[in-house]
Each structure stands twice: as structure tokens, then as C-alpha cells.
């Protein structure tokens, strides 16, 4: 395994942490900048939307740039975006800072994934993507508690200062330890986007959207779910999030290793089946131990699918692999946004106990889309 993979994992961790690092201190931001809690929450929403939309566009615009130079440039813009957040005197400036960091961050995540996929032997590709995915999943899990601790101790700007420091260290690491990486031969934009007209590829991205939506329908409302069904207090909720986080991070590495050993298709199908079973079973767990076991399985499978599905898309369309990984990352974030929306609707129209079952149904739908995708023949030309 190429040691540079671990440097890319660190970069992906730093970038991914910015998305939710503000989540636990929204009240501090709202009070200091004199805005409502809902307006403060938009700082997360706008980040996710810009993140999902920007990556494919920026990847195409920068297709001819040498990858190490592009990574350093994107890190510099990302650094600037977080500096804007640190020194923002009003809400609107902080909002702009979030947009800058989201756009540059989305490009950085895709660069980390695509560079990792092209370093070393193809037989380790799934594992490499899985390790980088561990950085992303770890950042999403640890972002909230890190932001909470720093924000409550030193003020809401402290988490962004922390990100600025890590960004500078990342730039130093990339500059000294990353070799130059030539861009892949450019495929015309029309040809790249036309790949979505192929049902085999489109359904692959739809699979990511559906399973991540199913995951988020419950995960976004895990706190009220466990408090309602398990009568847990705040301390237990924190422990549950920690356990889930460890499971999710390890799931990315396991999914990548299994993809290399057993193949991407078998790994995807197996992970989705186990994932759906765990979600559908959760409402019927009656003891803490059983719940934790099922939740750990759910957490692992929620991120085990990602590296295998990325490998599947690379195998399906190797000449447009970069844009496929970018589009798949966008599908993932759109799934998060959609799942959060559906989860809220379920809570309002029914009860939070139904979120797990509805989420399980979405995951089963993703099994259908990937099975159809795998049975389709790919057209040789889509110019």
C-alpha cells in the first residue's frame, strides 16, 4: 500500500470535519451574531448543498491541472474560507466563508479519492478508496464533538482556528511528501456527462443516493429515537454516537478490503443486504445490548458500501472514473439532504419509531437499483 494514501486520508479528514464541526455550537453562533437558531442551521445546509453541486463542476474546470498543484491551490482556498469564518463580524460574512470552504472542500475530497484510486496497483484500489473514506467518515463523526468541546471552551470561532491550523499542516505535508500527479487524459465534457444516460452508471449513482437517504432518515434523528425508545439520557446518547462513529470509520476500511478480495459487486450486494436487515431490525431490539450490536452493524455497513461502489463505477467507466467518483460524492450528499427531509416528515406525520423502518425500505430500493445496474450491458459509445 502506497504510504501517500495516508496523507490523503489526513487531508480528507481535515476537509470533511468542516461540514459538521459547527453543528454542536449553533446556539453560540446564533447568540453571538444575533440570528435565529434556524438561520445558524442554514450554515450546515448551505455547506452540504454547495459541496454536492461544486465537485463535478470544479473537477471538469480543473481537468488539465497537475494534481499536486491543484490540491495545494484548493487547500489554500479552503484555508481562506475558514479564515473568513474566523474573522467574520456578521452572519453574512460567515455564510460566504462557508460557501468558499464548501466549494474548495468538495474538490479536495474528490482529488483525495481519485489520486488514491490511481496510486499503486489496481488490486489495492478498493482498499485505498476505503482508507480515504475512513478519513471522511471519521471527520463527519468527530466533527460535532470536536466543535462542541472547542466552541464551549474558547468560543465558536475556535473550531475554525483549529481547522486553519490543520489546513496549514496539510499543505506542508502535501508540498513535501506528495509527488506530482499528472492529470488523466481529458475526455470531452459532453462525453463525460452523457455517461449518466447509461442506465448502468445512472443506477449506480442512484444506489448511493437511496442507501444514504435511508441511512440519514434514522441517523439524523438518532437522538430522539434512542431517547424515545430506550429512555436514555444525554450521557448515554453521547456514548452511542461514539460507538457508532467507531463502527462507521472501521466500516470504510473493511468495505475497501472486502472489495479488493471478493470483488466490488459481491461486497456491494452483501453490505446492502446486511445494512437493510439491521435498519429493519432496530425497532424490534428490546434490550440495550441487542440494540448496540445491531447499531454497530448498521454503522459499519453505512460506510462499507462507499469504497466498493466507487470501485464498481471505476470498473464500469474507467475513462471517466474521476467524474464518476465526483458525481457519486454528490449523490451521497444529496442523499443526506433528502433523507433528513424525509425523516423529519415521518416524525411529524407518524412517530420517530417509524424512521428505522422507512430507512430500511429506502436501502432495499437501493439493492434493486444496483442489481438492475449490474445486469445491464454498457454501451461502447456514448459520445
The contacts of residue 71 (CB under 8 Å, 6+ apart) are 11, 108, 111, 115, 174, 178
Does residue 20 contact residue 138 with C-beta atoms inside 8 Å?
Answer: no
| Alpha-carbon distance values, 160 to 32, 216, 376 (Å) | 15, 26, 46
What per-residue confidence (pLDDT) applies to 365?
A: 97
pLDDT at 193 over 70: no
What per-residue confidence (pLDDT) applies to 79?
A: 97
135: left (phi over 0), alpha (psi -120 to 50) or beta: alpha
What per-residue confidence (pLDDT) applies to 287?
A: 84
Query: Which candidate, 305, 372, 313, 314, places its Cα nearest to that of 335?
Result: 305
pLDDT at 190 over 80: no
335-347: average pLDDT: 83
pLDDT at 12 over 70: yes
Q: Which domains does the chain have, with CATH numbers?
A: 4-177 (1.20.1250.20), 189-375 (1.20.1250.20)
pLDDT at 106 over 80: yes
Cell of 290: 441487542
pLDDT at 19 over 50: yes
The predicted model scores a pTM of: 0.76
pLDDT at 382 over 60: no
Alpha helices by DSSP H, listed for 189-231, are 189-194, 199-219, 222-230
Q: What is the DSSP string of 250-312?
A: HHHHHHHHHHHHH-HHHHHHHHHHHHHHHHHHGGG--SHHHHHHHHHHHHHHHHHHHHHHHHH
Q: Which long-range contacts (CB under 8 A, 24 or more apart) does 375-381 make?
A: 376/198, 376/199, 376/200, 376/203, 377/200, 378/198, 378/200, 378/201, 378/316, 378/317, 379/198
What per-residue confidence (pLDDT) applies to 108?
A: 93
What per-residue confidence (pLDDT) applies to 383?
A: 47
Higher pLDDT residue, 69 or 188?
A: 69
Instruction: Name the percent of the chain lying above pLDDT 70.
Output: 92
**Most confident residue range from 97-106, 129-138, 248-257, 305-314:** 97-106
Which of the four pLDDT bands, split at 50, 70 and 90, describes residue 168?
A: very high
Across 137-160, b (16+ Cβ under 10 Å) vs e yields: bbbbbbbbbbbbebbeeeebbbbb
Higher pLDDT residue, 256 or 101?
A: 101
Question: Cell 417509524 sits at which residue?
Answer: 354
Q: Sign of the CA dihedral 257, 262, 265, 269?
A: negative
What per-residue confidence (pLDDT) applies to 314?
A: 86
Q: What is the DSSP string of 1-17?
A: --THHHHHHHHHHHHHH
Question: Cell 416524525 sits at which residue?
Answer: 347
Amino acid at each position: 500500500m502506497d504510504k501517500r494514501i495516508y496523507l490523503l486520508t489526513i487531508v480528507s479528514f481535515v476537509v470533511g470535519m468542516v461540514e459538521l464541526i459547527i453543528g454542536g455550537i449553533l446556539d453560540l453562533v446564533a447568540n453571538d451574531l444575533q440570528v435565529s437558531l434556524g438561520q445558524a442551521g442554514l450554515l450546515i445546509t448551505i455547506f452540504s448543498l454547495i459541496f454536492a453541486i461544486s465537485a463535478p463542476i470544479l473537477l471538469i474546470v480543473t481537468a488539465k491541472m497537475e494534481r499536486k498543484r491543484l490540491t495545494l491551490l484548493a487547500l489554500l482556498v479552503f484555508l481562506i474560507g475558514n479564515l473568513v469564518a474566523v474573522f467574520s463580524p456578521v452572519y453574512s460574512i460567515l455564510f460566504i466563508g462557508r460557501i468558499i470552504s464548501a466549494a474548495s472542500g468538495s474538490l479536495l475530497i474528490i482529488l483525495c479519492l481519485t489520486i488514491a484510486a490511481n496510486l499503486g496497483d489496481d488490486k489495492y484500489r478498493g482498499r485505498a478508496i476505503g482508507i480515504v473514506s475512513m478519513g471522511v467518515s471519521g471527520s463527519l463523526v468527530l466533527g460535532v464533538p470536536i466543535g462542541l468541546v472547542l466552541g464551549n471552551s474558547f468560543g465558536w470561532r475556535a473550531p475554525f482556528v483549529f481547522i486553519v491550523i490543520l489546513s496549514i499542516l496539510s499543505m506542508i505535508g502535501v508540498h513535501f511528501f506528495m509527488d506530482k500527479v499528472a492529470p488523466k487524459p481529458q475526455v470531452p465534457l459532453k462525453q463525460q456527462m452523457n455517461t449518466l444516460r447509461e442506465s448502468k452508471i445512472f443506477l449506480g449513482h442512484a444506489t448511493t443516493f437511496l442507501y444514504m437517504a435511508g441511512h440519514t432518515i434514522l441517523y439524523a434523528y438518532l437522538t430522539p429515537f434512542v431517547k424515545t425508545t430506550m429512555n436514555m439520557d444525554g450521557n448515554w446518547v453521547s456514548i452511542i454516537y461514539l460507538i457508532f462513529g467507531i463502527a462507521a470509520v472501521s466500516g470504510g476500511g473493511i468495505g475497501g478490503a472486502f472489495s479488493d478480495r471478493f470483488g466490488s459487486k459481491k461486497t456491494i450486494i452483501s453490505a446492502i443486504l446486511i445494512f437493510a436487515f439491521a435498519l429493519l431490525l432496530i425497532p424490534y431490539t428490546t434490550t440495550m445490548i441487542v440494540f448496540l450490536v445491531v447499531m454497530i452493524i448498521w454503522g459499519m455497513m453505512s460506510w462499507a458500501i462507499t469504497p466498493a461502489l466507487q470501485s464498481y463505477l471505476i470498473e464500469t467507466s474507467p475513462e471517466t472514473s474521476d467524474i464518476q467518483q465526483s458525481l457519486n460524492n454528490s449523490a451521497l450528499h444529496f442523499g443526506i439532504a433528502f433523507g433528513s427531509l424525509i425523516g423529519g416528515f415521518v416524525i411529524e406525520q407518524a412517530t420517530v419509531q417509524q424512521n428505522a423502518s422507512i430507512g430500511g425500505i429506502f436501502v432495499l430500493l437501493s439493492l434493486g437499483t444496483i442489481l438492475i445496474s449490474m445486469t445491464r450491458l454498457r454501451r461502447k459509445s456514448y459520445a
